[in-house]
Amino acid sequence: MKAFTVTRYGPTGLEAAEISAPDVGPHDVLVDVRAASINPLDKMVRNGEFKQLLRYKPPFVLGHDLAGVVTRVGADVANFTIGDEVYSRPRDLRIGAFAETIAIDADDVALKPTSLSFEEAAAVPLVALAAWQALVDVAGVQAGQKVLVHAGAGGLGSTVIQVARHLGAHVATTAHTKDIDKVRALGADEAIDYTTTDFADVLSGYDVVLDSLGLSSLEKSLTVLKPGGLAISVVGPPDLAFATQLGQPLLKPVLAFMSHKVRSRAKKLGVRYSFLFMRASGPQLKTLARLYDDGTLRPVLDRSFPFADTIEAMAFVEQGQANGKVVVTRGNAA
């Protein structure tokens, strides 16, 4: 089958390839991939940024979320049947959405939202799970709390805004001038134009900040939190809890060193820091599907590329041009 594999770590390491169809275990479903989306995580994994933590061995198929049709079910799978339309963010070390087919643990799969096309559904698993896990599982956001979301017009930020509003939070976000109306339409109560205004000069007393920009933004974000507030980063530095999530407790000293600066800064300010590396969850995708189908959430797409142009789609995202999710499609993704 056709796929896009990481043959070596680095910016030019992704290549088109012909590979064998995947094996299907007793608890797996085989999915004909109709659409897959591009995420910053794809670049990070391709470049080897997590190679000491997530031990992928090249060559391996890249791609972290998808939508498609079940074509085979393992002997122990009872909740899916052939022909089901599904979406998924496969678990780490079992990724591979940039392929014609993929075998996925059934626990990581859910029926796709019926109101969404394959193209739309492929755009949401990773960002929707990240938003839900950050705001619900980690932060426990309650109605009336104040949440700051950076890069609100992006694939993750646009989803976080919607989930935060669903939870009843007061939402602020940063965005480019051209995207101010867009983020307000998504539900942001305050939209900070980062080209003219420093968010740290105008915001204060926030309960939660979700940062996807990097260390400079993260450190500044600590200053807008109220005492006891929580800053969550999806780009690092990883903290000690991440070693537990990976099942590698011996990494705790390394991750403690990597996150020491930001954790010390947070402690001095009387606030908290947490790194989020989202995890696969079919049950949470089932919950999120209901929110997409009832109109609470909606996908935000920039554009689609044909499957054959996956490398070009990756380059487009890396250039920072995307205003929403970028998707690659196979066959009928409508």
Render pLDDT for 144-203 as a digit per residue (tens, 0 to 9).
999 999 999 999 999 999 999 999 999 999 999 999 999 999 999 999 999 999 999 999
Per-residue pLDDT of 283-327, as tens digits, reads 999 999 999 999 999 999 999 999 999 999 999 999 887 888 999
- 57-73 b/e with 16+ CB inside 10 Å = b? eeebbbbbbbbbbbebb
Q: Which residues lie below 8 Å from residue 174, measured CB to CB, with a gap of 6+?
A: 148, 149, 150, 151, 152, 191, 192, 194, 199
pLDDT of 334 over the 80 cut: no
Mean pLDDT, the chain, rounded, equals 95
Q: How far apart are CA 298 and CA 155, in angstroms?
A: 11
Confidence of residue 52 (pLDDT cuts 50, 70, 90): confident
**The domain at 2-123+299-329 falls in which architecture?**
Alpha-Beta Complex (3.90)
Question: DSSP 3-state assignment of 331?
Answer: coil
Sorting pLDDT into bands at 50, 70 and 90, what band is 333?
low
Mean pLDDT across 269-281? 96
Would you state the pLDDT for residue 184?
98
- Could you give the CA distance from residue 53 to residue 325 in angstroms, rounded to a whole number? 26
DSSP code, position 115: T
As its CATH architecture, domain 126-275 has: 3-Layer(aba) Sandwich (3.40)
**What's the token pair of residue 237?**
């530095």
Compute the distance between CA of residue 198 and CA of residue 283 in angstroms, rounded to an integer: 39
> Domain residue spans in the chain?
2-123+299-329, 126-275
Share of the chain above pLDDT 90, in %: 86
- Of 32-46, 182-196, 237-251, least confident by mean pLDDT is 237-251
In angstroms, the CA 234 to CA 45 distance is 14
